[in-house]
Chain A
Amino acid sequence: MKRYLAVFLGILTAIGGFVDIGDLVTNAQVGARFGMSLAWVAPVGVLGICVFAEMAGRVAAVSHRAVFDLVRERLGPRMGFLNLVGSLAVTFLTFVAEIGGVALALQLVTSVHHLAWVPCVALLVWFVLWRAKFSAMEDVLGLLGLALIGFAVALWQLGPDWGDLAQQALTVDKPGPESWTTYAYFAVALFGAAMTPYEVFFFSSGGVEERWTAKDIGVMRVNVFLGFPLGGLLSLAIAGCAAVVFLPLGVSVETLGQVGLPVGLALGKIGLAVVVLGFVAATFGAACETGLSVGYSIAQYFGFQWGKYVRTREATAFHAVLVVAALLAAGVLMTSVDPVLVTEFSVVFSAIALPLTYFPILVVANDPDYLGEHVNGRVANVLGVVYLVLVVVVSVAAIPLMVLTRMGTA
């Protein structure tokens, strides 16, 4: 019974923890501009993250070592460093966006400008990373993130023409005024938001923190293959709400307040309060995950002692990185840069950095020295290679599309 409860809790936290500021903003923007015509990107992205998260989780469970730890050892310091720089830059950018996201969510509740919240949020994130237990942090924030199910309820309450939504989703087409390059740009952004590199680092490092063994592979797979797709459905619900309320009016989504507006209109103040709680939990949870991922990746590459399961004084360099990352993130946001703009950059740069993250995972997951009998099977390798080709194409296309469409504004 206890085991089933653990599996159930794992699935729920995977659902609640799937959506972050990138998913919130990008899905709402896409829904408002393209309706459900880019809905096909969600399953493609979710399957991709499932494939590589399963590999990374398996590596952690069998080798008891996290991805970066093995990348440097298996592919050498140069490749490891390239991997570190690319992934770290994107993860830090995402960390900045998440802290900004929490501040924006608090602004919605209090009317106090988000810049006033930024130092408090950064301090609180650092405090949680320093003091809170790993499992408590993951479970509490993941479960609170489930409040975003409010989007699915709101979509149902808005009473859309389901046939029309389904037709939009099944037809690869774009609304008349939009260009195909803009369509492709937003497809890349959605893909980047779904396959954010930090999710895999956090997942594999988390496996080491929670001391997974080969016996945990089954539970890990259930969490990944059920939790992530259900989290992906939340992304579709966010896009659906924006498509129903904003698309007919020609509204473009540029703020977090607009993302939640359809829920308020459909469910009233209580529904809106639930979803704003979801905003805070999802962005705060993702801020913790990205903050830890920054610390994990640096510590694992340079061989420092790391993790929340070791005492602070035994992992001083790791904790120092967390402090510096929180200070830097707050500093970036205090320049008054728009957190939504940072989010837009972070999802596109995620797409650019994808091959740097996923190629090494595929290599390590095929190495019998680390995984023994648990190396990739045929299905995992076929999917891994197909997705590797896809992420390379997406990565190469991202910058030209960003320039051509002026970040989707053209």
Chain B
Amino acid sequence: MGSRSSDRRPLLGSLLLVLALVVGCAVSEPEPADWSESSARALESAASAVATARLALSGEKDGDLWRSYAVVLLADAEEAAGSAADQVAVVQTPRGREKRAEQVRDLLGRAEDAVRAARQELVAGKPITAERLARLERLRQRLLREAGR
């Protein structure tokens, strides 16, 4: 009995090793529903960053915020928009969602660029235009719409 059990040990060990290698080396692909949820969260985060940037710019334009405060808000918003883009970029796209993933990545990239441009213009002392604020608002609404909220 004891010797039969010890005979099986190498076989069991090999099976476990193969299983571990298969599981460990396989590229993890999220379920489509999980991916959709994750990308929706990223779009929401980006919308939040864009909205914060718009509020900061609008406050600075109206003289309600001092410059350093608005710059810190915009720098933080830029970082948040970047994190939102990374959130989607690092996840494997499920099969059949490639086009949608491209759209989401493009939109998140636009959000990051818009917030960065806003910060750069503020730091450079350029005037804040109503057009800039309106563009940010349109982008925020688009991000939320795409997130399904």
Contact = CB atoms under 8 A, between A and B. Distances in A.
Interface of A: 107-111, 177, 245-246, 249-252, 254-255, 257-258, 260-261, 264-265, 267-269, 272-273, 276, 409
Contacts of B65: 261, 264, 269, 272
* Chain B contact surface mostly: helix
B81 to A, nearest CB: 11
B33 to A, nearest CB: 14
Contacts of A267: 64
A265 B73 CA distance: 13
Contacts of A272: 64-66, 69
Contacts of B149: 177, 250
Contacts of B146: none
Closest 9 A/B residue pairs (Cβ): A111-B68, A249-B51, A255-B76, A257-B73, A264-B65, A251-B48, A252-B48, A251-B51, A268-B64
B68 A269 contact: no
B72 A111 contact: yes
B51 A261 contact: no
A246 B50 CA distance: 12
Contact of A108 (B45, B51, B59, B68): B68
26 contacts: A108-B72, A109-B69, A111-B72, A250-B51, A250-B140, A250-B144, A250-B149, A251-B48, A252-B44, A252-B45, A252-B48, A254-B48, A255-B73, A255-B76, A257-B73, A260-B69, A261-B52, A261-B56, A261-B59, A264-B65, A264-B69, A267-B64, A268-B64, A269-B63, A272-B66, A276-B69
B48 A110 contact: no
A265 B57 CA distance: 11
A305 B32 CA distance: 62
Contacts of B59: 261, 264-265
Given A252-B48, A265-B59, 6 more contacts: A108-B69, A245-B55, A249-B55, A252-B44, A257-B76, A269-B64
Nearest to B55: A261
B115 interface: no
Nearest to B47: A250
A190 B112 CA distance: 32
A107 B64 contact: no
B71 interface: yes
Nearest to A267: B64
B108 interface: no
Contact of A268 (B41, B55, B63, B144): B63
Nearest to A112: B68
Nearest to A104: B72
B80 interface: yes
Contacts of B41: 409
A181 to B, nearest CB: 14
